[in-house]
Amino acid sequence: MRGNEIEQGYLTKGGPSRSPAMTTPRTNRYGLLSLGVYEAPTSTELSGNAMMRHMPASLYRKLQPHFKRVELSLDDYLYRPDEDMDTVYFPETTVISEFQILDDGRTIEVAMTGSEGAVGLLGVYSDCRAASWTQVCAPGTALKIQTEVLRREFLSNEAVQPLVSKILGSYIKQISQKAACNAHHSVEERFCTWLLMLQDRSQGDRLRLTQEHIARVLGVYRPSVTCIAQGLRDDGLIDYVRGYIIILNRDKLEERCCGCYTEFSRGGLIEAPIVRRAQNSVF
């Protein structure tokens, strides 16, 4: 995987960009829905990924030798547009973003996936190619497996179909909601919503972010992000230092986000509301 090719909102050529992955996972913050038809695997190697936890135990044991746990670094690319999706990733502590490039060279995020789902799952059902730039948003671990292996097992196992359908349905819903959100809500609302989504999916104590990265996500220029971040800092909602954003008051941040946050928190394997931290907690 090459390094960061999207810099300050524009597609450029660049060398490798690697950052140390976070290696101290925290307790998973998702409320997992009980689907009622799955036996939870008991292996000590059980993944932190929710989809793995809800997979039929017999299928999990069959697939386990084919999985490889990998450390993904910030800004690593998993797919580029029109590339074959020959590998599926099941995030554990990493968070993955999908981007589109606008006509003027800016980028904008169209989907975010953490330990509640999988990246590249559409490739299991067809030989479709990647439609977006797919990049690591928060470093951490993931399980990866060859798409062909999953295709062979998933399509022949009726018990796993409801689980896969739920994940894909949630993914499609998020993309649709993101399109509406990006078109109709203010930059500040989208900024707050995105921070909350990332915090829900991140396993670190802080959100490792630069203002350039946030600008790429929101499809705006850096001065807009700087102005909004300063305002949120002055109001005591966040703080930022040395490439990290620290959420100081989550409840107040939720009041400033758009209504899409509630929709992004529903469906898939995430219960709504997601477990909240104590107000005014500092990381």
**Higher-pLDDT residue of 96, 40:** 96
Q: Which residues pair with 256 in a beta bridge?
A: none
The closest of 50, 73, 177, 179 to 135, measured between CA atoms, is: 73
Predicted pLDDT of residue 111? 95
Q: Which residue is it, tokens 């915090």?
A: 199
CA distance 277 to 89: 28
Per the prediction, the chain carries an average pLDDT of: 79
Q: pLDDT-based confidence at 98, cuts 50/70/90? A: very high
Rounded CA-CA distance 20/70 in Å is 13
In contact, 163 and 35? CB cutoff 8 Å? yes
Residue 119 CA: distances (Å) to CA of 94, 168, 250: 11, 10, 28
Pick the range with the lowest mean pLDDT from 40-44, 179-183, 195-199.
40-44
> What proportion of the chain, given as a percentage, has pLDDT over 70?
76
Q: Where in the chain is the domain with CATH 2.60.120.10?
A: 6-181
In this structure, the number of other CB atoms found within 10 A of the CB of residue 245 comes to 23
Distance between CA atoms of residues 90 and 67, nearest Å: 10
Q: Which residue has the tokens 């999953």?
A: 150
Asked if pLDDT for residue 45 goes beyond 90, the answer is no
Residue 204's pLDDT band, with cuts at 50, 70 and 90, is low
- With residue 10 as reference, give the H or E element that holds it: strand 10-11
Across the range 245-255, mean pLDDT stands at: 94
Instruction: Give the model's pLDDT for residue 40.
Output: 37
Range(s) for CATH 1.10.10.10 in the chain?
A: 186-264
- Domain 186-264 annotated CATH 1.10.10.10: yes
In whole angstroms, give the CA distance from residue 255 to residue 62. 45
Residues 260-265: what's their mean pLDDT?
A: 85
Q: How confident is the model at residue 271 (pLDDT cuts 50, 70, 90)?
A: very low
Q: Does residue 154 surpass a pLDDT of 90?
A: no
Architecture of domain 6-181: Sandwich (2.60)
pTM assigned to the model:
0.78
Q: Give the 3-state secondary structure of 100-145.
A: EECCCCCEEEEEEECCCCCECHHHHCCCCECCCEEEEEECEEEEEE
CA dihedral 253, 258, 261, 262 (to 10 degrees): 110
Instruction: Look at residue 195 and tell me whether its pLDDT is greater than 70.
Output: yes
pLDDT on residue 125: 82
